[in-house]
Amino acid sequence: MNHSETKANYGIDAPPVVRNLILAGVGCFALGMVANLLLAQAQLTLVRSLSLAGFFAGIGMWLGAGLMIWSSLYGKFRERDRLMELIDLRGDEQVLDVGCGRGLLLIAAAKRLKTGKAVGLDLWQAEDQSGNSPRATLANARAEGVFDRVKLETGDMRQMPFADHTFDVIVSSLAIHNVYEKEGRVKALREISRALKPGGRVALLDIQHTEEYSQTLRDLGWMEVQRTALHFWIFPPVRIVMGKKSSG
């Protein structure tokens, strides 16, 4: 089979979280079943409540896992398109996708570029996305017909391997929240600001900390910093932070 005939595969986000929700759901449901069996012999209110709580908690966790899988397979492509519309590339930009994973935004950006280049930066952590590797991302770029417009770098967003003022546009999806300490996330935003050209723009999509991203960009003297309303095509729901680095 020719490479370009292979379908791109963008993986499942946070696979350990999905697995734990499924297992915890099984545990709760089993607890509910045991309590229900006891209920058949003893008409205890406490046991009846435990049984119902087990069933509902189990169903809630399976629902959460199902919504996360649905987001990875369908919903996030809608959010990708919305972000691409907001950032509205001309076609000649140097674009960076921070925490690109298997290339969701990287490849979408590359498809809109004529003379520009899309660069993906990542540490390729398997716990953040299934099958995460430069090889998988390059295979997706090939399958989507943008292999020649894509370049990958391995590195940490808190210390990016790029010179100052390299990029016209920087995007990121579901990645910055994976840095657990606020100090690290602020460092990542400072790195984004450093690597961006004066007047350059960002669009950062995430499930949490978006108010913190907006405030950090304002503290760095950025202009036109905006945060969208919650979007529900991804579970947990997301917001996009947009902003423009000052040209001075």
Ligand X SMILES: C[S@@+](CC[C@H](N)C(=O)[O-])C[C@H]1O[C@@H](n2cnc3c(N)ncnc32)[C@H](O)[C@@H]1O
List residues binding ligand X (CB under 6 A). Answer: 10, 13, 99-101, 104-105, 121-125, 128-129, 132, 156-158, 173-175, 178-179
Alpha-carbon gap, residue 141 to 158, rounded angstroms: 25
Q: Between 159 and 247, whose beta carbon lies closer to ligand X?
A: 159
**Whole-number minimum distance, CB 22 to ligand X, in Å?**
18
- Output the residue with the shortest Cβ distance to ligand X: 101
Q: Between 56 and 74, whose beta carbon lies closer to ligand X?
A: 74
**Whole-number minimum distance, CB 166 to ligand X, in Å?**
16
Q: Between 87 and 100, whose beta carbon lies closer to ligand X?
A: 100
Whether the CB-CB separation of 71 and 233 falls below 8 Å is answered with yes
Sort strands 94-98 and 117-122 into parallel, antiparallel or unpaired.
Answer: parallel
The amino acid present at 45, given as its one-letter code, is T
**Whole-number minimum distance, CB 163 to ligand X, in Å?**
18
**Whole-number minimum distance, CB 184 to ligand X, in Å?**
7
Q: Between 29 and 124, whose beta carbon lies closer to ligand X?
A: 124
Q: Between 100 and 217, whose beta carbon lies closer to ligand X?
A: 100
**Whole-number minimum distance, CB 74 to ligand X, in Å?**
13
Q: Between 94 and 173, whose beta carbon lies closer to ligand X?
A: 173
**Whole-number minimum distance, CB 245 to ligand X, in Å?**
20
Q: Between 69 and 179, whose beta carbon lies closer to ligand X?
A: 179
Of 182, 226, 184, nearest to 83 by C-alpha is 226
What DSSP line would sit under the chain, residue for residue?
Answer: --GGGSPP----BSHHHHHHHHHHHHHHHHHHHHHHHHHHH---HHHHHHHHHHHHHHHHHHHHHHHHHHIIIIIHHHHHHHHHHHH---S--EEEEET-TTTHHHHHHHHT-SS-EEEEEE---TTTBTT-SHHHHHHHHHHTT-GGGEEEEE-BTTB-SS-TT-EEEEEEES-GGGS-SHHHHHHHHHHHHHHEEEEEEEEEEESS-HHHHHHHHHHTT-EEEEEPPPB-SSSS-BEEEEEE----
**Whole-number minimum distance, CB 174 to ligand X, in Å?**
4
